[in-house]
Every structure is written in C-alpha cells, then in structure tokens.
Amino acid sequence: MDLKLTPLTMPTAIRPNAAVRPGAQAGIGTVGGAGGGFSGALKEALSSVSTAQNESSRLQKEVQMENPKVSLEETMVAIQKAQIGFQATLHVRNRMVQAYTDIMNMQV
C-alpha cells in the first residue's frame, strides 16, 4: 500500500510517480476520484460494518427459528465479526472527535 501523499496543487507533470501510482486509473486512493478519497473510504467502511451487523441479525433470527441450514458456529462468527467491526468504527469515531477537539482548542 502506497501511503505517500503529494500536494494536490502540484501539476501532474511535476508530481513524482504521478502516472505510476497504483490505483490511479481506477480512482482508488485519489482525492476527488471515483472512490471519493477519505469520505468514500469512510462510507465504504460504514457500509461494510452495517452489512455485517445486518447479516449477523439475520443469522440470529434463522437460528432462533431453528433453520437446519444455518449453524450456530456460523452465526457466532458473524456476530463476532460485526462486534469487532463496530468496535473499530467506534474507536475511529472517537479518534476523529478527539482530533477535531484538539484542533479547535489550538491557539492561533
């Protein structure tokens, strides 16, 4: 994963490795591209966590209805995945709020 950032105001001809950056043609990892940069990644992550939670809820209902096609082990793994995803999302949110608070408390 290439985490080097180049200034957006720098012309493309001057930017180092502008044409060879991985995912540049597909809009992955570029600001304002098809992925939407940070906001797009955040939306995708939130959508993924929501999907995992919905899937675990569906599996829980299936186990409660005694569906023989759904195993308890599969359901427990789905619940744990949803829980870990939610906890990670909560930590990211807390870090973002703390960073915002730190920036707002800086003296100019």
Closest CA to 96 of 106, 107, 85, 88: 88
| C-alpha count within 13 angstroms, C-beta hemisphere, residue 94 | 6
Q: What is the pLDDT of residue 27?
A: 46
Q: What is the pLDDT of residue 7?
A: 52
Q: What is the pLDDT of residues 57-95, one digit of tens each?
A: 999 999 999 989 999 999 999 999 999 999 999 999 999
CA separation for the pair 25, 32 (Å, rounded): 13
Closest CA to 78 of 60, 100, 94, 95: 60
Closest CA to 52 of 94, 74, 80, 73: 80
What number is the average pLDDT over the span 30-59? Answer: 84
- The residue ranges of every structural domain in the chain are 43-104
CB atoms closer than 10 angstroms to residue 104: 7
Q: What is the pLDDT of residue 17?
A: 52
Does the predicted TM-score (pTM) go above 0.85?
no
> What is the sign, positive or negative, of the torsion defined by CA atoms of 11, 44, 39, 105?
negative
CA separation for the pair 108, 106 (Å, rounded): 6
86 in Cβ contact with 49 (< 8 Å): yes
